């Protein structure tokens, strides 16, 4: 049997994706006229995910 280790990249993608969906939904519900702001928020979260992924990849190199 193979020992499968949990992949941190999947966890980060799920967390950032979930937060992005929640932010867009909350803005769409409460402030429809400000929905363009959601693109900036999601873009910042995506950029954060890229940097976190790069740091995690550096940390996993052996």
pLDDT along the chain (62 residues), means of 10: 68 84 89 87 85 78 60
Helix axes 8-30, 36-60, angle to 10 degrees: 170
Question: What pLDDT does residue 29 have?
Answer: 92
Question: What pLDDT does residue 60 have?
Answer: 67
Per DSSP, the residues of 8-34 read: HHHHHHHHHHHHHHHHHHHHHHH-GGG
């Amino acid at each position: 049997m193979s020992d499968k280790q949990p992949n941190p990249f999947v966890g980060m993608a799920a967390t950032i994706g979930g937060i992005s969906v929640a932010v867009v939904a909350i803005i769409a519900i409460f402030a429809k006229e400000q929905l363009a702001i959601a693109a900036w928020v999601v873009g910042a979260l995506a950029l954060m995910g890229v940097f976190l992924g790069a740091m995690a990849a550096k940390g996993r190199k052996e």
